Amino acid sequence: MPQPLTWNSGLVWNSSTPGVLWNGTVNPSNPSNTMPNDNRISAVVLPADKAAILTKLTEINALLPFLINLTKDERITLPKLGAASLAFDEQCTSYMASAPNLVPPFVDAAEVNKDRALRLVLADLLRESKKLCEKLDDTLLLVGSEIWMADLSFYQTVRQAAKRDVPGADTVYDELRVRFPGVAGDPAEPEPEPEPTPVTP
């Protein structure tokens, strides 16, 4: 026999569960379901693992003590060796080796070759680092999104509970509603608040 739908029955307000009505009934044989997309990340990084990762990052920095930070102006004004200029650089490399008499006295050919070798190594390191950084950034965004959607679902449920005078709901709602200020109206007949729009946390 269907049981009365209670406040703590496990159903989520505004869910896509078919046939769910407020103050309706729920069949105990049909457990509530969580949409798969609501929890795409379920992981834990142990404190020891986090410490080990940070230690390794420190070790990587120590292995590259010559790395520098450019200012915004430097990044804009410095001439850049882009993909379109690599063929030109290869030609210069060949001619600087075969015609050293044409190399300007203020250009240290040995240092230029040293820079070329370093560039290749740094490009490989950056390529792999970017893959990791992209996954870190995407995962951080997704985790934050899951938290935010859970918060919005909780807020919607609290708001409905407050409207139905569920004990204790008013206090929670009054504090949370500051994040979504509603339209001021007659206290006796308050205008409905706009639905909160999910945004990036």
71 and 28 in one domain? no
Residues 19 and 50 grouped into a single domain: no
pTM score over 0.95: no
| Same-domain pairing of 146 and 168 | yes
- For 184-201, the pLDDT digits (tens) are 433 333 445 555 555 554
Count of domains observed in the chain = 2
Q: How far apart are the first and last CA of the chain?
A: 43
| Residue whose pair of structure tokens reads 């006796």 in the numeric block | 188
- pLDDT digits 0-9 by tens, 54-102: 999 999 999 999 999 999 999 999 999 999 999 999 999 999 999 999 9
Query: Which residues are CB-neighbours of 58 under 8 A, at least 6 positions away?
Result: none
